[in-house]
A and B are shown apart, each in its own frame.
Chain A
Amino acid sequence: MAMSALIKSLEDIMRKDAGLNGDAQYIEQITWLLFLKAFDAKEMEWEFRPEYHGVIPEGLRWRDWAADKEGITGDALIAFVDKLFSSLKKMDTSDGDMRKFVVRNVFEDINNYMKSGVYLRQLINRINEKVDFIDATQKHTFNDLYEGMLKDLQSAGRAGEFYTPRPVTNFIVEMIDPKLGETVLDPACGTGGFLTSTIAHIGSVTSTEELEKLQTTINGWEKKPLPYLLAMTNLILHDIEVPRIRHQNSLNRPLSDYSAKDRVDVIVTNPPFGGAEDAAVKQNFPAEFQTSETADLFMALIMNLLKDRGRCGVVLPDGFMFGTEPDSKVKKAIKEKLLKECGLHTIIRLPQVFKPYANVNTNLLFFQKGVTSRGVWFYRLDYPEGVKSFTKTKPMQDKHFDPVREWWADKQPIAVDGFDKARFYTVEELREMNYNFDKCCPFPHVEEEILEPGELIARYQTERTELNANIDRILKKITAKLGDNA
């Protein structure tokens, strides 16, 4: 069913409640309700197992108090919900059932804001009416739901918190090809899109050993409580009973603290861009990587967290490619390391696939630690024939990546209308261009492209700095020649 219509109707109900202020609280309100409903759906499945002990205490399960549309409402409901929250936050985990930890961790940071039991009941009933987690296909609508809500959250744009379009996550996971048993990490997992894509890629597991392996090798870290909650729910729906998602700021730990036991075989991720970290966080990183740009710090983290021969697929903005002042020194250091020690081998340049949330061009970088790169293949994915841009109703689809898949199988240079579309650059060539990757297979400059002022200024400054540097270099040579009277 149309997610945006559902969200609008849920928001219409919530808007009437005096306790809710603004989009951020709407989301929080919906997410815990969805979590409890989804969790109960899972409990119903688990009950078929022998020796199953329930997780959420009787009386507090969704089916007990929420499922019946004529159930408690009004002030009684509000009082009940308060009791529910305090019980869940203090849930007794002495029997060691990890799923109890899950519930407790999830509710640690969550609140009920609604003041009117009547509206809350309306909200619950509407959710029951429209969202059915037993139905397999509904599981996939979960990310759509979050996506719809994120769109309303204007501030999400500022925080760089984006939902990565599924065709992008699917493509990255496909190319990285994680196998069952390999440790997989997304250190900025958001709602868990990359992780669920990995699970889908690995395919159905049959034996209990395999299920155990899957459960213990898929990992995610997420800083914000809302996406953390949704990621947990998402993985639970994907049959990961105790999702290994840590609610933490990946950048808050000194890089040197990480050791072999933390390292993983595969990292697939879309770190937040445009974010700025404070000085304390910067200090966690070695000098050559100290910057306030969040995405760059993540790159330093990722390179550290990979095992030797570990593989990575990551989404980065154009800003990383051309290197924005004054942090371009750090970006340069990262690129140098990617080439020297992390076997950077392919970069796929995407058009604006995050529209209409954000008008940014992004790039997919693929590399492998412990390998020295000979050079990088660049490939520019153009909009399909006849498509000027992706929209909410006509979003990007998996099949739009088919040309890249075809090309990847046997990488050859391609030029279209005199512009490079696919081309191999040696490490030397990249060094000569001062690691300005933006020059490689760029999108031909179309008059219509309107860059955001920030990006426009950054690009101008980078170009100007580069030109000034070139000019100075040439003038230096001229001066030397003038003085050289050998």
Chain B
Amino acid sequence: MTAQDLKKAILQLAVQGKLVPQNSNDESASALLKRIMAENAQLRNKRKAHSSSEDEVPFDIPESWEWVHLNQIASSSLGKTMDKAKNSGSECPYLCSINVYWEGISFATVKTALFTEEEKCKYALAQGDLLICEGGDVGRTAVWESDSEMYYQNALHRVRFYDEINPYYFRFVMEYYKVAGIIDQYSKGQAIKHLVQSALYSIWMPLPPIAEQKRIVTKIEELMPFVEEYGKEEGRLSSINAGFSKMLTRSILQEAIQGKLTERYPDDEPASELLKHIRAEIEELVKARKIKKPKKLPEISEDEIPFDIPEEWKWVRLGEIILGVADGPHFSPPYYDEGIPFISTRNVAGGKLDFSTAKFISPELHKELSKRCKPKKWDVLYTKGGTTGIAAVNDSDVEFNVWVHVAVLSMGSYVNPYYLAIALNSPHCYALSQEYTHGTSNRDLGLTRMVKITLPLPPFAEQQRIVDRVNDLLAMCDELR
């Protein structure tokens, strides 16, 4: 329940006569109406408003109330039409829709124009006038409370009530009708909505005894501060709920790469040995001319180590444990409706490979591109343009290629791709990826910088244990969403 819902519920009670009890001593609404008819000559001349029938009115009201049209209880007119050419007279301040808000009248920007004496008479505002927006945010209503000189323009209806009828009560009625969608039903127009006078007059409004009107207004005003307070707390609750699931995921990944989710097994070969195997594998492949000789990377310094890892693990740079990294073409190729899927950042940004929005390139181009970069199953895709620093494992059998914004990392037999993706997506590596990403609008995580990213390398068997643990935990986290 939002504060808006709560407010709507309170207003609904109000207009249905359920917010405050009726008092039999109050002069009933029908008596009030009779009195008004007697006092106001204009009304006697008008066609008598027909009484409401059951199906016309939106809800039931107490016995002492009456359904009315505004023109039975008030006189209303639109303001002065502004016409620079024809205006004459003296410079006067006037209100239009930018001054009328539910919260009240805004004096931030008060325009002025020339009003003739006759116009001043016709378009002056008096204390207690109800101002209703005819266009824009149609139906937005406020009470003019001041007794200073002020006029109004034809974007507003000025409703002046007869007798002692309470304008604040009707302001709440308008507010309820707005949130309940009733005002919009009466507004005409396609692009720009308007609430013309005849439409305004045709809206059925519930009229309580005058004393009860006052009681209702007082009650609502007492409740509003609480509703506001509620709104604040509820807003905070929504935002912490929204943020929590994401924060928990990140926290879990960070725990994973510190070795805090898994145990060491005595039979596991330590990472220092693993690294030797990796280096040997790389050397073999270089000799066989299958891969390029990797550039030597600087030693990891003490300052680069943000937390301790188990003794059996080792801090490494990304470039030390991969067989190679490549990215797609720097140009945008011609796209077709079908062919070989061609993916970019958005297909990886969710942490999983997603072909649903992939474009397609020709098989010939794919063959060309594959000479330089060909994603294989179990490679890790890592975004390096736009939204950078997100990794996903290529678990697909489908052949595809990538644009320059996606890097393809290939590993040998000693690095678990799912572990690598977890590590790259952890807060530690993600922070580094952002540090290494240059540019603001054209963001780029260059390959030379990317390979410097440091991460903890666990023993091989432990890598899989970590992957399993993380998957279990994240599945549980998903239930929180």
- Contact count A vs B, C-beta below 8 Å: 76
Binds B, one of A31-39, A124-132, A473-481: A473-481
Is B303 part of the binding interface, using a Cβ–Cβ cutoff of 8 Å?
A: yes
Q: Check A450/B237 contact, CB under 8 A, given A474-B229, A481-B222.
A: no
Contact A456 B307 (CB under 8 A): no
Which of A152, A356, A450, A485 lies in contact with B250, CB distance below 8 A? A450
Is A467 part of the binding interface, using a Cβ–Cβ cutoff of 8 Å?
A: yes
Q: Check A453/B255 contact, CB under 8 A, given A467-B240, A474-B233.
A: yes
Nearest CB of B to A482, in Å: 7
Query: In the bound complex, how far is the Cα of B127 from the Cα of A179, in angstroms?
Result: 76
Query: In the bound complex, how far is the Cα of B305 from the Cα of A151, in angstroms?
Result: 15
Is A108 part of the binding interface, using a Cβ–Cβ cutoff of 8 Å?
A: no
Nearest CB of A to B305, in Å: 7
Query: In the bound complex, how far is the Cα of B141 from the Cα of A327, in angstroms?
Result: 50
Contact B21 A485 (CB under 8 A): yes
Q: Check A477/B226 contact, CB under 8 A, given A151-B308, A453-B248.
A: yes
Contact A478 B227 (CB under 8 A): yes
Which of B229, B260, B302, B427 lies in contact with A393, CB distance below 8 A? B302
Is B145 part of the binding interface, using a Cβ–Cβ cutoff of 8 Å?
A: no
Contact B251 A452 (CB under 8 A): yes
Residues of B within 8 A of A389 (CB): 306
Give B243's nearest chain A residue, CB to CB. A460
Residues of A in contact, count (CB < 8 Å)? 32
Residues of B within 8 A of A481 (CB): 219, 222-223, 226
Q: Check A475/B230 contact, CB under 8 A, given A450-B427, A463-B240, A464-B237.
A: yes
Residues of A within 8 A of B219 (CB): 481
Contact B240 A359 (CB under 8 A): no
Residues of B within 8 A of A377 (CB): none
Contact A471 B230 (CB under 8 A): yes
Query: In the bound complex, how far is the Cα of B311 from the Cα of A393, in angstroms?
Result: 18
Is B244 part of the binding interface, using a Cβ–Cβ cutoff of 8 Å?
A: yes
Contact A452 B255 (CB under 8 A): yes
Q: Check A453/B302 contact, CB under 8 A, given A460-B240, A464-B240, A474-B233.
A: no
Is B326 part of the binding interface, using a Cβ–Cβ cutoff of 8 Å?
A: no
Residues of A within 8 A of B236 (CB): 467
Query: In the bound complex, how far is the Cα of B308 from the Cα of A464, in angstroms?
Result: 32
Contact B223 A453 (CB under 8 A): no
Is A412 part of the binding interface, using a Cβ–Cβ cutoff of 8 Å?
A: no
Q: Check A474/B230 contact, CB under 8 A, given A448-B431, A482-B223.
A: yes
Residues of B within 8 A of A392 (CB): 302, 308
* Residues of A151-179 whose CB lies within 8 A of B: 151-152, 154
Residues of A within 8 A of B260 (CB): 452
Contact A478 B240 (CB under 8 A): no
* Residues of A317-373 whose CB lies within 8 A of B: 355-357, 359
Query: In the bound complex, how far is the Cα of B309 from the Cα of A357, in angstroms?
Result: 10
Give B228's nearest chain A residue, CB to CB. A474
Nearest CB of A to B309, in Å: 9
Q: Check A356/B248 contact, CB under 8 A, given A471-B230, A474-B230, A485-B20.
A: no
Give A449's nearest chain B residue, CB to CB. B427
Residues of A within 8 A of B237 (CB): 464, 467-468, 471
Give B245's nearest chain A residue, CB to CB. A460
Contact B233 A391 (CB under 8 A): no
What are 29 A-B pairs at a CB distance below 8 A? A152-B311, A356-B305, A356-B306, A391-B302, A391-B303, A392-B302, A448-B431, A450-B250, A450-B251, A450-B254, A451-B251, A452-B251, A452-B260, A453-B252, A456-B244, A456-B248, A463-B240, A464-B237, A464-B240, A468-B237, A471-B233, A471-B234, A471-B237, A475-B230, A478-B226, A481-B219, A481-B222, A482-B13, A482-B223
Which 3 A-B pairs have CB atoms at the shortest separation, nearest pair first? Answer: A356-B308, A467-B237, A453-B251
Q: In the complex, given contacts A357-B308, A391-B305, what are 17 additional A-B residue pairs having Cβ atoms less than 8 angstroms apart?
A: A356-B307, A359-B307, A389-B306, A391-B302, A392-B302, A450-B251, A451-B247, A453-B248, A456-B244, A464-B237, A467-B237, A470-B233, A471-B233, A474-B226, A481-B222, A482-B10, A482-B19
Q: Which residues of B contact A (CB under 8 A)?
A: 6, 10, 13, 19-21, 219, 222-223, 226-227, 229-230, 233-234, 236-237, 240-241, 244, 247-248, 250-252, 254-255, 260, 302-303, 305-308, 310-311, 427, 431
